[in-house]
Chain A
Amino acid sequence: MRADVASLRWTPLGLQSTRWFGWISLFSLMIMFAFAWMRNDDYGMKIVIVAILCNSTIIYLVPEDAPEHRASSRLSLFISCSVLLMLSCPIFLFHRDSTFTGITLIDLWTSLPVLLVSILSFLSGIKSWRWFVGKHTQSEAIEGLSRSRKHGPRVLQISKQIVLLHLGLFAILPPLWTLMLSLTPGNSLGGDFKISSITFEHYEKIMGMDRFWVWLRNSIIVSVGTTIFGLSIAFPAAYGFSRYRFHGRKLGLFVFLIVQMFPGALILVPYFIVMKGFGLLNSFIGLMLAYSVTALPLCVWLMKGFFDTIPIELEEAARVDGCSQLQVFIHIIFPLSLPAVAITCLFSFLAAWNEFLLALTFLSDTDKYTMPVGIASMVSETQPYWGDFAAASILVSLPVVLLFITFQRYLVDGMVAGSVKG
């Protein structure tokens, strides 16, 4: 171990942060580029390309460990890249061009991180110039290392949180948008939402519609039926696959997986022909059957995986204790697999609740429509009622959300903990 290991391993915290945040600003620049491209903003695209180069250089110039060969040229390159990056933002925002349409929220959102990172890199570059040229002292390095150790994780955490926050925002944007639409008066596609003008007129209209309640009832019948029917097949099937060794076991499981890989549209026609043959078109039974079969492979796999974790000794103990196979199933396996049952129920319910294509194909009566088909039929009429549509969508999602909240505590695994040694 070398005595000057500290000065070899030390990277100033400011520069480290610059690197971590640099990746965020690089991503922002990519988005900026995409927007400039969509607007046919050639000048903006050029600016962004220069900025991307500068940003990448900044990240590159701050290696994980202190560089072996240091030179003042690195420092000057770093500082100039920072300045260039800093300038690129205002230029991008304010450059006058024939396509200029004013600064939007998205422009601000994307350029703000770039601006902040460039300022950070400029300041930390100047502050740590001695490190860049390799003139820092040993004690400085030791002190700096301890500072990095103390605050480094927190800075890294912040940069991660920023990324995650945006991803989360991205995920909830569509439902948020729908909620907004449903509360906005009129039937525009959004954009003019104001807190002061919140209205429940769409909800009132939807709830006042007879068809809505019919569709809701249909959806509930089909979904609950699918769940019960599917589970009553999947549960014993999964148990068999998990516990018994028989010919065709592996093949069966494999085939289940393969079936899962076919796109829904492919099985649409065979389903239609089969259902027609059985006279089950335009009936809930047919729909339930189709949904259960579609959801079966995943349900079986899910539950088989769970059964595999239940120790066989528990069953053997129960058999010695006086249980028949069926009693083992009822008294031991079922209570222990409640988490798996809950998640499988939820899955089949959701699959049936949200399914559109099969329902649209099978059902021809408006009175037999399930919710998704019904809502879709509202849009396809001559005048699209976006507000009503959004309100209906929100209303349809509510039961699912409630289901999730109720079942959540069952989803927590760990029931088996403590049964065997540990």
Chain B
Amino acid sequence: MANVNFDNVWKKYDEDSIAVKELSIQVNRGEFVVLVGPSGCGKTTSLRMLAGLEEITDGTISIGGAIVNDLAPKDRGVGMVFQSYALYPHMNIRDNLSFGLRMQGMSNDQVSGRVVEAAELLGLSEYLERLPKHLSGGQRQRVALGRALVRQPAVLLMDEPLSNLDAKLRNQMRFELRRLHEELGTTTIYVTHDQIEAMTLADRIVVMNEGRMQQFSEPLEAYHNPANTFVASFLGTPPMNLIYGEAMDGVFRAKVKNSGKEGGELEIPLPERLSNFSGDCTLGIRPENVALEIGKQDGKFSISGSEQLGSETIVHLKLGEVRIAAVWHRPGPDENWRITSRENRVDIIIEGKDIRLFDNNGDAINNE
């Protein structure tokens, strides 16, 4: 177990393609940190730089206080789980698990002890003599995990380890990964594009976009108080509603720009903590915090569509250019019908505590 520091790390392939820009994160001992972001955001590159599979252009990466920039992967004390598993096809599971240990020059007794231990931990004991091609996807995934864990690495790295599994198995493995982490307490850095994995697994998440870190915080903090509009729109399904407009005198006026008779002014009073701000800005509100008033004849919003998920119904509202998604929890059959009927007009109720404001650059405004 060790802490991991990224200090102002850059990765440039050439002048035009910069994969990672001034990344600085401090991962504590035993922490589970998830790097999350859309594809091409630099999260995998960051992980590979940490593993030593990719050169670091600028800045330093240290593991357990030691700078590892110029160390070979094998000397960094990391274990890695690859997206494609990358099991050695010509070795059986036992050899796959023990390969790293034998490379370290460990004695045979110790090796087999560790392998048996890891196999038991992951439920692989009965498959030790098989070849990877004779295992199912989930089992291969476990072997890949076991191969990384058996070396008792200072840092465990995982690169989208669940993305090749089907949905059911993925949920199961996700749960198991968390359990393993709690049991072993290994410092873990995990890369995914799946925000559910990020939210559920992480102690802290690093949201990345276009090579830059957007936010580094606890998952719920990022969810409720996104640092900028990118984080707001990346986390959550459906994502946070973003409404463009202007704030003045403690009131937010949306740019409705209606091109017809429909609509009208949309004014949202701002809470006290944001009332000092004036100027162009973006208002953010989570769909589950938008309450609906249905059945009002003079409701401002029309309903442009709805998605019924059973446990909840996502209602898409429209007012001129403004589009808002609202989540209606525990809808009964009657309300369902009323919501989905497109003739209904709807008003929304928003509580001041749920409102977030972002300035023209997309950064969150905090006037507390």
Chain A residues with CB under 8 Å of chain B are: 311, 313-314, 316-324, 327, 331-332, 335-336, 415-422
Contacts and interface: CB of A to CB of B under 8 A. Distances in A.
Contacts of B164: 421
Given A320-B74, A321-B74, A313 B134 contact: no
Given A317-B87, A421-B137, 12 more contacts: A314-B88, A319-B53, A319-B74, A321-B99, A321-B100, A324-B74, A327-B103, A331-B99, A416-B89, A418-B132, A420-B85, A420-B86
B78 interface: yes
Residue from B83, B85, B151 having most chain A Cβ neighbours under 10 A: B85
Contacts of A318: 88, 99
A319 B72 contact: yes
Contact of B133 (A324, A332, A335, A417): A417
B147 interface: yes
A416 B135 CA distance: 14
B82 A317 contact: yes
A367 B86 CA distance: 54
A314 B85 CA distance: 9
B131 A418 contact: yes
A323 B82 contact: no
Contacts of A323: 74, 103
Contacts of B72: 319, 324
B151 A321 contact: yes
Contacts of A422: 133
A338 to B, nearest CB: 8
A417 B87 CA distance: 10
Nearest to B81: A317
A418 B80 contact: no
28 contacts: A311-B84, A313-B84, A313-B86, A314-B88, A316-B51, A316-B73, A317-B87, A317-B88, A319-B52, A319-B73, A320-B51, A320-B73, A321-B74, A321-B103, A321-B147, A322-B103, A323-B74, A324-B74, A331-B99, A332-B88, A415-B89, A416-B89, A418-B89, A418-B134, A419-B86, A419-B89, A420-B85, A421-B84
Contact of B84 (A319, A415, A417, A420): A420
A311 B84 CA distance: 9
Among all A-B residue pairs, the 4 with the closest Cβ atoms: A418-B133, A419-B89, A322-B103, A321-B100
B261 interface: no
B90 interface: yes
Interface in B191-238: none
